[in-house]
Amino acid sequence: MSYTNALLYVYVINKSGFLNDYSLSLDIPSLCAEKLIKDQADVGLVPVAAIPYLKKHNIFPDFCIGANGPVHSVMLYSDVPLKDIKNIFLDYQSKTSVMLVQVLAKFSWQINPQYIAATEGYESKIKDGSAGVIIGDRNFFMSKKYEYVYDLSEHWKLFTGLPFVFACWVTNKNISTAQSDALYQSFEFGVDNRNDSINQLAKRYDRNFIKTYLSSYVSYYFDIPKQQAMNLFLNLSKKII
């Protein structure tokens, strides 16, 4: 994924030597999923909502992109409160987040808006009774543009008491133990040494903000609570589809 929250993985994959045998492509989450589904990639950081659509998959243990409370980069924006929302634009860059907002609307907020598959530029349509899901780095500059701001990860935590998993590392075929170990060591190094990524990103963003974002808001360990949360989310998603 090409978002800031995934760049520590990108950083260490580039440094690890793994790319002597593989090529790396950076895409928005929905395209990461599509490439794995269509067998155009072997390994991907994949939105969890796409996992049921893979004919075969193996999930790498221990590492993911998640949050235990507010994440500040998966948001629903509106100029009216939840009860008055009539339409929700669904971010074309996302699979998991657009399903998450539907799960929250049905089971937590108990609202029944119309959902609209968004296209580029939809942000300007978020007004009156139309809300919109926006994911990724765009949120770093948008929180003050709308009267009502809902952090979807925070609302999931309020609803379930669990953290949330947005994406995890998945293969659509068997890979060798050596390849798997090399990736695992890269991920572990990146998460344990995230200051290297913070130093790189501080050239683009305020250092204090990016340090807080990568150290406190985004959670990279795919622990048992996150596994439970992912299973619950996928089960609730089946009731939406």
CB 62 within 8 A of CB 184: yes
Q: How confident is the model at residue 56 (pLDDT cuts 50, 70, 90)?
A: confident
Claim to verify: residue 176 and residue 202 sit in the same structural domain: yes
Spatial neighbors of 158 by CB under 8 A, at least 6 apart, are: 108
Q: What is the CATH number of the domain that holds 90?
A: 3.40.190.10
pLDDT of residue 241 exceeding 70, the answer is: no
Claim to verify: residue 31 and residue 78 sit in the same structural domain: no
Write the DSSP string, 157-185: HHHHSS-EEEEEEEESS---HHHHHHHHH
Claim to verify: residue 34 and residue 93 sit in the same structural domain: no
Q: How confident is the model at residue 28 (pLDDT cuts 50, 70, 90)?
A: confident
Claim to verify: residue 136 and residue 99 sit in the same structural domain: yes
For the chain, percent of residues with pLDDT exceeding 90? 55
Claim to verify: residue 78 and residue 185 sit in the same structural domain: no
Write the DSSP string, 179-215: HHHHHHHHHHHHHHTHHHHHHHHTTTS-HHHHHHIII
Q: Pick the residue with more confidence: 24 or 78?
A: 78
Find the radius of gyration of the CA atoms of the chain.
18
Strand partners, 149: 77
Claim to verify: residue 170 and residue 156 sit in the same structural domain: no
DSSP H helices, 80-176, are: 96-103, 152-160
pLDDT of residue 63 exceeding 70, the answer is: yes
CB 59 within 8 A of CB 168: yes
pLDDT at 25: 86
Give the residue-averaged pLDDT of 189-217. Answer: 89
Claim to verify: residue 78 and residue 156 sit in the same structural domain: yes
Spatial neighbors of 215 by CB under 8 A, at least 6 apart, are: 194, 198
Spatial neighbors of 34 by CB under 8 A, at least 6 apart, are: 40
pLDDT at 188: 87
Residue 44: phi and psi, rounded to 5, are -150, 150
Strand partners, 47: 167
pLDDT at 160: 98
Token digits for 45? 């950081």
Domain count, the chain: 2
Where is the domain boundary, 145, 160, 175?
A: 160
pLDDT at 8: 84
Q: Return the residue matching tokens 């150290």.
A: 215
Claim to verify: residue 60 and residue 168 sit in the same structural domain: yes
For 84-139, what is each residue's pLDDT tens digit? 999 999 999 888 999 999 999 999 999 999 999 999 999 999 999 999 999 999 89
Claim to verify: residue 128 and residue 172 sit in the same structural domain: no
Give the residue-averaged pLDDT of 28-37. Answer: 86
Claim to verify: residue 86 and residue 143 sit in the same structural domain: yes
pLDDT at 163: 98
Where is the domain boundary, 120, 144, 160?
A: 160
Domain that holds residue 129: 74-160
For the chain, percent of residues with pLDDT exceeding 70? 99
Claim to verify: residue 57 and residue 175 sit in the same structural domain: yes
For 147-187, what is each residue's pLDDT tens digit? 999 999 999 999 999 999 999 999 888 888 888 888 888 88
Claim to verify: residue 44 and residue 86 sit in the same structural domain: no
* pLDDT-wise least confident of 70-74, 197-201, 219-223: 197-201
Where is the domain boundary, 160, 181, 211?
A: 160
